[in-house]
């Protein structure tokens, strides 16, 4: 593989020195911006980062033998990391969307057998190949938006066979698609109708019959639960997450999305890698998350699409919680692949600064999936996942809102979008 020399970036955002822990209160200087910056890429990884003249002097042979990418006038950032998606699913739910516009609530629709149940029905009917083809196309769309690593949850199978099917699709996508995938088991996404009268039995089934197989076959790294009034209680969530922990799966939680329910507190208690949504998280929960170092993955697309008040990002940052942003890409509550839009929401609807937003979609997002030492910043030794934009500075990403400004995507040292 020929080296790549990306040179003359008007603003090269490196985010240097943040690989060990997520950052709580990023300021502009934490972005470690290099003007007239360049990156030398060799064998899929970053070999050197610095000013263009500097790197040419240090690596005369490599830089002259390399494929040159001229980034004059362009912003360059680390690839975006999506730490929360429900990537693998079949079907769509646009009819429910119209019902919601007329006043039906997300939970009403779900309780009437729609929502997650509707997608589960379609996903169960789909073959491995059908799910693979549809999800591959979705990954292509994410990649065009600048996403280079994607967390993907199961949770539309709700039984061993179909949860496995979703995770096997994700595994094959990780092998064959240019993007990297990280898998999360989310069997506790909804109580299937068979167990409706006995949710505890479903939890026992997940713990005794499903989780051990998922762990044994190495199909997931994380274990997630929809902890919400009317879905899984805090106690049930704790049980399933602790069982996963014993098998080596790190906990994540869909917490306090629709009501203040104790999800943030549970995330802190279990030292979850992240707690996600948090629209209604209590002050106590937020403080406990800060103390336990749990990353808050905020999903403004969901709040927007369900027409709810956005999570209180400002309060979380001020109280010491590190933030990541993600799309929640799924067919019900957030059918979007646009990281750019999430970034715009961060700045324009959640009171975050452009620096906070950039950290939230790169290095903090990487920490939310335990990948902080591998991706999320432009540093020597890290994966060469880089984005080149058609705008000169990161402020333009918000100033010209609602647009995909990504011009090129370099993933593992290979130019994938140009
Ligand atoms: O993150 N809240 C639960 N799960 C997803 C939505 C899944 C769906 O509606 O299909 C979420 O919002
Ligand atoms: Fe979700």
The residue contributing the CA closest to ligand 1 atom 11 is: 333
Averaged pLDDT, 105-130: 97
84 lines ligand 1 (CB under 6 A): no
Q: How far apart are CA 275 and CA 267, in angstroms?
A: 6
Reported as a single tens digit per residue, the pLDDT across 55-76 is 999 999 999 999 999 999 999 9
Does 274 have pLDDT greater than 90? yes
Write down the pLDDT at residue 103.
96
85 lines ligand 1 (CB under 6 A): no
116 lines ligand 1 (CB under 6 A): yes
- What are the structural domains, with CATH classification, of the chain? 4-79+376-417 (2.30.40.10), 81-367 (3.20.20.140)
* Neighbouring residues of the ion ligand 2, judged by CB less than 5 Å: 328
Q: Are 327 and 334 in contact (CB under 8 A)?
A: yes
Q: How far apart are CA 122 and CA 138, in angstroms?
A: 17
Which atom of ligand 1 is the closest one to the Cα of 84?
1
Distance 31 CA to ligand 1 centre (A): 32
Write down the pLDDT at residue 1.
84
Q: How far apart are CA 387 and CA 384, in angstroms?
A: 10
Q: Is 156 annotated as a binding residue?
A: yes
Does 335 have pLDDT greater than 90? yes
Does 403 have pLDDT greater than 90? yes
Please report which confidence band the pLDDT of residue 165 belongs to, taking 50, 70 and 90 as the band edges: very high
Does 92 have pLDDT greater than 90? yes
Averaged pLDDT, 304-329: 98
Query: For residue 34, what are the β-bridge partners?
Result: 12
Q: Is 44 annotated as a binding residue?
A: no
Does 116 have pLDDT greater than 90? yes
Helix (H) or strand (E) holding 246: helix 234-246
Reported as a single tens digit per residue, the pLDDT across 13-50 is 999 999 999 999 999 999 999 999 999 999 999 999 99
ipTM above 0.95, yes or no: yes
Q: How far apart are CA 385 and CA 14, in angstroms?
A: 11
Query: For residue 298, what are the β-bridge partners?
Result: 325
Write down the pLDDT at residue 344.
98
Q: Are 264 and 286 in contact (CB under 8 A)?
A: yes
Query: For residue 297, what are the β-bridge partners?
Result: 276, 324
Q: How far apart are CA 26 and CA 360, in angstroms?
A: 9
Q: Are 288 and 270 in contact (CB under 8 A)?
A: no
- Mean of the per-residue pLDDT values of the chain: 98
Does 153 have pLDDT greater than 90? yes
Among residues 222, 296, 229, 219, which one has the least CA distance to residue 252? 222
Averaged pLDDT, 283-312: 98
3-state SS, residue 152:
strand
Reported as a single tens digit per residue, the pLDDT across 177-190 is 999 999 999 999 99
And the tokens for 186? 């989310």
User: Minimum-distance ligand to the CA of 119?
Assistant: 1
Q: Are 84 and 276 in contact (CB under 8 A)?
A: yes
Distance 85 CA to ligand 2 centre (A): 6
Write down the pLDDT at residue 417.
84
Averaged pLDDT, 309-318: 98
Among 226, 252, 334, the mutation site with the greatest number of ligand 1 atoms within 8 A of its Cβ is: 226
pTM of the model: 0.98
Percent above pLDDT 90 for the chain: 99
Distance 351 CA to ligand 1 centre (A): 24
278 lines ligand 1 (CB under 6 A): no
Q: Is 189 annotated as a binding residue?
A: yes
Write down the pLDDT at residue 145.
98
Distance 332 CA to ligand 1 centre (A): 6
224 lines ligand 1 (CB under 6 A): no
Q: How far apart are CA 9 and CA 31, in angstroms?
A: 15
Q: Is 10 annotated as a binding residue?
A: no
Residue 279, by phi and psi: left (phi above 0), alpha (psi -120 to 50) or beta? alpha
302 lines ligand 1 (CB under 6 A): yes
């Amino acid at each position: 593989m020929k080296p790549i020399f990306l040179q003359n970036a008007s603003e090269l955002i490196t985010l240097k020195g943040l690989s060990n822990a997520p950052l709580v209160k990023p300021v502009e200087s934490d972005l470690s911006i290099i003007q007239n910056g360049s990156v030398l890429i060799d064998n899929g990884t970053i070999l050197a980062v610095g000013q263009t003249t500097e790197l040419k002097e240090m690596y005369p042979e490599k830089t002259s033998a390399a494929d040159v990418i001229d980034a004059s006038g362009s912003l360059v950032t680390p690839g975006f990391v999506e730490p929360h998606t429900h990537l693998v699913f079949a079907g769509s739910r646009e009819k429910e969307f119209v019902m919601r516009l007329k006043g039906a609530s997300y939970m009403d629709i779900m309780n009437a057998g729609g929502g997650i149940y509707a997608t589960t029905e379609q996903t169960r009917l789909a073959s491995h190949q059908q799910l693979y083809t549809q999800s591959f196309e979705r990954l292509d769309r994410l990649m065009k938006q600048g996403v280079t690593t994607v967390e993907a949850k199961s949770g539309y199978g709700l039984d061993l066979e179909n949860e496995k099917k979703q995770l096997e699709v994700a595994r094959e996508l990780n092998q064959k698609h240019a993007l990297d995938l990280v898998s999360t088991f989310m069997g506790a996404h909804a109580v299937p109708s068979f167990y409706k009268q006995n949710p505890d039995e479903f939890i026992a089934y997940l713990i005794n019959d499903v989780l051990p197989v998922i762990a044994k076959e190495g199909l997931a790294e994380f274990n997630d639960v929809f902890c919400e009034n009317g879905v899984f209680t805090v106690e049930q969530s704790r049980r399933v997450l602790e069982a996963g922990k014993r098998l080596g799966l790190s906990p994540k939680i869909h917490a306090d999305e629709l009501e203040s329910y104790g999800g943030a507190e549970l995330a802190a208690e279990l030292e979850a890698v992240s707690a996600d949504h948090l629209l209604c998280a209590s002050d106590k929960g937020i403080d406990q998350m800060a103390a336990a170092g749990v990353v808050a993955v905020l999903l403004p697309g969901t709040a927007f699409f369900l027409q709810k008040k956005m999570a209180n990002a400002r309060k979380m940052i001020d109280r010491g919680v590190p933030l990541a942003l993600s799309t929640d890409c799924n067919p019900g509550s957030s059918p979007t692949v646009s990281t750019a839009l999430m970034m715009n929401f961060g700045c324009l609807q959640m009171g975050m600064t452009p620096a906070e937003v950039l950290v939230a979609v790169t290095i903090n997002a990487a920490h939310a999936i335990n990948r902080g030492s591998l991706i999320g910043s432009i540093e020597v030794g890290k994966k060469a996942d880089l984005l080149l934009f058609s705008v000169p500075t990161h402020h333009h990403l918000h100033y010209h809102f609602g647009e995909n400004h990504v011009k090129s995507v370099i993933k593992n040292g290979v130019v994938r979008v140009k």
